[in-house]
Amino acid sequence: VALSTVTAVSPTSVTSGDGTGNYTFVITGTNLTGGSANLVNSSGANVAFDTVTVDSATQITGVVAKSSVPGSGEPYDVKVTAASGLTATLTDQINVDQQPVYSTAAGSLGTINDGGRTGASFTVAAADPESGGDPVYTLESGSLPPGLSFASTSSGAVISGDADAVGSNTTSNFTIRAKDAASNVSDRAFSITVTAP
65-115 per-position pLDDT tens digit: 999 998 888 889 999 998 888 899 999 999 887 788 899 999 999 999 876
21-74 per-position pLDDT tens digit: 999 999 999 999 999 999 999 999 999 999 999 999 999 999 999 999 988 888
Query: Is cis: bond before 75, omega within 30 of 0?
Result: yes
Radius of gyration of the chain (CA): 24
If one counts every other C-beta atom within 10 angstroms of the C-beta of residue 103, the result is 11
Full-model pTM: 0.61
Residue whose C-alpha is closest to residue 102's, from 128, 126, 122, 134: 126
Residue 1, pLDDT > 60, answer no
The torsion angles phi and psi of 147, rounded to 5 degrees, stand at 100, -15
Query: What is the rounded average pLDDT for all residues in the chain?
Result: 91
